[in-house]
């Protein structure tokens, strides 16, 4: 159960405004499975083994008034699974691109992972670059500034995390969700379009049924623009800290 859902009624677990598909990609051993585990279980995954193919999990999060169910596809980083895992990229709205700050090779290979994701996922794919294992500062091989530059050059968000301590582990997922919501708000992304990686949840649909206007409070779909802006610091814990 997610942190946000603890203590909530069962109905809230089942209802959401949007469903978003995410893929988690990057070299083997960078900590993708541990990052996801911390995000979904709020604890470090002991004795993590290489992922075989793909593993699926989900978590519902809250951004402002919106409930968003994230479908999370954890992919294997090992080369031998590449063709299998690529087939899961299709229709992803968000990609969490992970490297290990103590392993320079995992950083140097990022372009390949990004190119694959951009080629195969949703055309509006939102990418968050994650430098994991920030707890191992003494073994650092990739400086924050260098990764931040790479992120800016490739038009992706960036932050560092530690799946071990839990530092910043929620931020990449919320940052991507926020960015996707803003694309919906601006009209750039249509959840009703096949392959967008996003669809309306039953909570949103129920509101459509009970109202002739498709409205999501601060977010609106269609021509109507929002009045209140979603602020990153309100939505993403730890945002603004080592994040661009």
Ligand X SMILES: Nc1nc2c(ncn2[C@@H]2O[C@H](COP(=O)(O)OP(=O)(O)OP(=O)(O)O)[C@@H](O)[C@H]2O)c(=O)[nH]1
Interface residues with ligand X (CB under 6 A) are 28-34, 48, 50-51, 76-78, 132-133, 135-136, 162-164
Name which of 51 and 183 has its Cβ closer to Mg ion.
Answer: 51
69 contact choice in Mg ion, ligand X, none (CB below 5 to 8 Å, kind-dependent): none
| Footprint of Mg ion on 45-74 (CB under 5 A) | 51
Element (H, E) at 114: helix 110-120
For the chain, give the number of residues.
244
Nearest distance, CB of residue 234 and ligand X, angstroms: 26
Indicate which of ligand X, Mg ion, none lies near residue 64 (CB less than 5 to 8 Å, by partner kind): none
| Tokens of residue 174, six digits | 């919320």
Sign, CA dihedral 224-229-232-233, equals negative
Q: Which is nearer to ligand X, 27 or 185 (CB)?
A: 27
Query: Residue 110: how many CB atoms within 10 A of its CB?
Result: 22
Q: Which is nearer to ligand X, 99 or 216 (CB)?
A: 99
CB of 160 to ligand X, least distance (A): 10
DSSP string, 10-48: HHHHH--SEEEEEEEE-STTSSHHHHHHHHHHSS--TTP
Which of Mg ion, ligand X, none interacts with 78 (beta carbon under 5 to 8 A by kind)? ligand X
Determine, following the binding rule CB under 5 A, whether residue 33 of this chain makes contact with Mg ion.
yes
Selected range binding Mg ion among 15-23, 25-33, 89-97, 120-128, rule: CB under 5 A: 25-33
Range 25-58 burial, b when 16+ CB lie within 10 A, else e: bbbeebbbbbbbbbbbeeebbeeeeebeebbebe
What is the Cα–Cα distance from 42 to 36, expressed in whole angstroms?
9
8 binds, among ligand X, Mg ion, none (CB under 5 to 8 A by kind): none
Residue 162 interface partner, choices Mg ion, ligand X, none, CB cut-off 5-8 Å depending on type: ligand X
Q: Which is nearer to ligand X, 176 or 204 (CB)?
A: 176
Q: Are 196 and 124 contacting, i.e. CB atoms less than 8 angstroms apart?
A: yes
Question: How many other β-carbons are positioned within 10 Å of the β-carbon of residue 209?
Answer: 9
Nearer of residues 126 and 130 to ligand X, judged by Cβ: 130
CB of 47 to Mg ion, least distance (A): 12
**75/168 with CB nearer Mg ion:** 75
- Cα distances (Å, whole numbers) of residue 5 to 8, 58, 68: 5, 12, 11
214 binds, among Mg ion, ligand X, none (CB under 5 to 8 A by kind): none
Enumerate binding residues for Mg ion (CB under 5 A). 32-33, 51
């Amino acid at each position: 159960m997610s942190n946000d859902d603890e203590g909530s009624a069962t109905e809230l677990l089942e209802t959401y405004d949007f469903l978003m598909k995410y893929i988690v990609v990057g070299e083997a051993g960078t900590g993708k499975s541990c990052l996801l585990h911390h995000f979904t279980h709020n604890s470090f995954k002991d004795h993590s083994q290489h992922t075989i193919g793909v593993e699926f999990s989900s978590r519902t999060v809250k951004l402002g008034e919106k409930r968003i169910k994230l479908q999370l596809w954890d992919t294997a980083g090992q080369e031998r699974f590449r063709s299998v895992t690529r087939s899961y990229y299709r229709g992803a709205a968000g990609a969490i691109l992970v490297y290990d700050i103590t392993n320079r090779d995992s950083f140097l290979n990022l372009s390949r992972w990004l190119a694959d994701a951009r080629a195969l996922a949703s055309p509006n794919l939102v990418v968050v670059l994650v430098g994991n294992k920030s707890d191992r500062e003494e073994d650092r091989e990739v400086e924050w500034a260098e990764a931040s530059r790479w992120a800016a050059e490739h038009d992706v968000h960036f932050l560092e995390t530690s799946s071990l301590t839990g530092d910043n582990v929620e931020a990449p997922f919320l940052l991507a969700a926020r960015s996707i919501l803003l694309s919906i708000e601006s009209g750039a992304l249509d959840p009703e379009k096949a392959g967008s990686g996003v669809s309306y949840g039953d909570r949103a649909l129920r509101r459509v049924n009970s109202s002739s206007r498709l409205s999501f409070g601060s977010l609106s779909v269609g021509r109507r623009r929002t009045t209140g802006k979603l602020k990153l610091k309100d939505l993403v814990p730890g945002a603004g800290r080592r994040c661009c």
